[in-house]
Amino acid sequence: AQKVTQAQTEISVVEKEDVTLDCVYETRDTTYYLFWYKQPPSGELVFLIRRNSFDEQNEISGRYSWNFQKSTSSFNFTITASQVVDSAVYFCALRSSNTGKLIFGQGTTLQVKP
Amino acid sequence: ETGVTQTPRHLVMGMTNKKSLKCEQHLGHNAMYWYKQSAKKPLELMFVYNFKEQTENNSVPSRFSPECPNSSHLFLHLHTLQPEDSALYLCASSRLTGGATEAFFGQGTRLTVV
């Protein structure tokens, strides 16, 4: 069975703080793909990043960075120097190469206060 | 401008009404999806279409009827809905249904059944 767990339901930080959003996944597949999406109040899910299971290299994009640890089945997302515009719901997702299904976690609501 | 457009953005309907949700993608993708997002629940995959053919129906009640006339358009026909069907309905598209292809989402239709 495949599962994505985002244990943090809500996080509140003050602007300029760093924040890490946790994501833990379960799968028996040897090849799979992990994603992060951002959902602002407008409702649309915005694609942020895709990571393949065979590529454990961490990635940095501006203030965003992702830490993929296959040994602990985690794919955590860090926002450095958070801004009010980062306030949104963030979803971690897993796609199996076998079924093609995109399974989402429950989402983490991030509130960045000025 | 989003590549996936959903209309209407908001819909209020009675339990005896019939209405349709529309989704259009301008990305040249071959796969389209309907997701349901209820409060405090993960996104639930409802239907998958690949090259206009339905490839997945995730045990969705028959009061939801999808239609995909071509790869760019996807409809969700609604009839005799229940109040618990009130949710945000999200449409998505991707180049392929599996593997390393990210899905792009529309802004959703906020449905309220009264």
- Phi, psi (rounded to 5 degrees) for B59: 55, 45
Report how far apart, in Å, the C-alpha atoms of A43 and of each of A31, A46, A59, B68, B113 are.
30, 9, 26, 23, 19
Dihedral Cα B90, A96, B52, B38, nearest 10 deg? -20
- Partnered with residue B10 across adjacent β-strands are B110
CA neighbor of B72 nearest in space, from B21, B4, B20, B9: B4
Instruction: Compute the average pLDDT of residues B65-77.
Output: 96
Residues on A contacting B at a C-beta cutoff of 8 Å: 4, 33, 35, 37, 42-47, 50, 52, 91, 95, 97, 99-107
Instruction: Compute the average pLDDT of residues A37-54.
Output: 91
What confidence tier does A2 reach under pLDDT thresholds 50, 70, 90? confident
Closest residue of A to B36, CA-based? A104
Closest residue of A to B34, CA-based? A102
Q: Tell me what pLDDT residue B89 has.
A: 97
What confidence tier does A1 reach under pLDDT thresholds 50, 70, 90? confident
Q: Tell me what pLDDT residue B2 has.
A: 65
The reply to whether residue A106 touches residue B104, judged by beta carbons under 8 angstroms, is no
Tokens found for residue B62: 């028959």
Closest residue of A to B57, CA-based? A101
The pLDDT of residue B96 is above 90: no
The pLDDT of residue B99 is above 80: no
Give the lowest-confidence range in A35-39, A51-55, A95-99, B80-84: A95-99
Residue A36, H or E segment? strand A32-39
Mean pLDDT of chain A: 92
The pLDDT of residue A98 is above 80: no
More confident residue, A96 or B105: B105
Q: Tell me what pLDDT residue A8 has.
A: 96
Hunting for tokens 């598209």 — which residue is that? B93
Question: B11, B59, B105: which to substitute to probe chain A, counting the most A Cβ within 10 Å?
Answer: B105
Instruction: Compute the average pLDDT of residues A82-105.
Output: 90
What confidence tier does A70 reach under pLDDT thresholds 50, 70, 90? very high
